[in-house]
Amino acid sequence: MHGLELLKKGLIWRIGNGENVQIWRDNWIPRNSSLKVSGARRRGRFRWVSQLMCSVTREWDMGMVKHIFHAHDAEEILKIRLSERSSEDLLAWHYEKIGMYSVRSGYRLAMQEVLMDANWASPSSSRDGERKLWVNVWAAPVPEKIKIFAWRLASNGLATMQNKKNRRMEVDGTCRLCGVEKETGFYAVAS
């Protein structure tokens, strides 16, 4: 995942007056899954988050929110506390409490995406044997760096010559020691 894509995925609007936040396009619903509205866009005149609020009381129009959105989205939207004053909407980093981006939380999000892409994080899509293997690896009483090394080895994440070649680096992929075999992760560990 590239940096800008990662940043876009983790930025969320903190709702002030709702005038700058688009209902169907922007990240604005704070939760663990997608930060956007999960249902399909509804036909109608609603485009801005401010249109979901009562302008006089500065509260959510509960009836409208429940009518427009699926129940799980409506529930999350109604949990968002609105400012009593009409303040500006703010962009914040969702994965830190204070809203400021940190390399640590960005890295954590990127790794989460990698694991999701590899289907290792979702038990329903992985084979039972493979899942049990990784449950045992992660539960093993060994240092964390050994577990991470095993995961990188299995997912072709080691900086072997063959992996560098696969990533279009200007190397030939053969082992520097013997000059004959392709230097894969297995070969590097076994030899």
Q: Against a cut of 0.75, is the pTM above it?
A: no
- Give pLDDT, residue 118: 56
Cα separations in angstroms, 59 against 8, 35, 76: 28, 21, 14
Contact between 52 and 77 (Cβ < 8 Å): yes
Contact between 184 and 158 (Cβ < 8 Å): no
CA distance 92 to 94: 6
Q: 3-class DSSP state for residue 60?
A: strand
- Give pLDDT, residue 66: 93
CA distance 156 to 162: 9
Cα separations in angstroms, 126 against 118, 134, 154: 9, 11, 15
- Give pLDDT, residue 125: 44
- Among 125, 88, 100, 79, which Cα is nearest to 7's? 100
- Give pLDDT, residue 174: 77
CA distance 10 to 92: 8
Cα separations in angstroms, 77 against 39, 86, 132, 153: 13, 18, 37, 42
- Give pLDDT, residue 115: 66
Q: 3-class DSSP state for residue 182?
A: strand
Along the 191 residues of the chain, how does pLDDT read in single tens digits?
Answer: 468 888 889 999 999 999 999 999 999 999 887 899 987 677 778 899 999 999 888 899 999 999 999 888 999 999 999 988 878 999 999 999 999 999 988 888 887 777 665 544 444 445 565 677 777 778 778 788 888 888 888 777 777 888 788 788 888 877 777 666 778 777 777 66
CA distance 108 to 114: 10
Domain boundaries, the chain: 3-93, 122-190
- Give pLDDT, residue 96: 92
Cα separations in angstroms, 172 against 1, 19, 187: 25, 55, 15
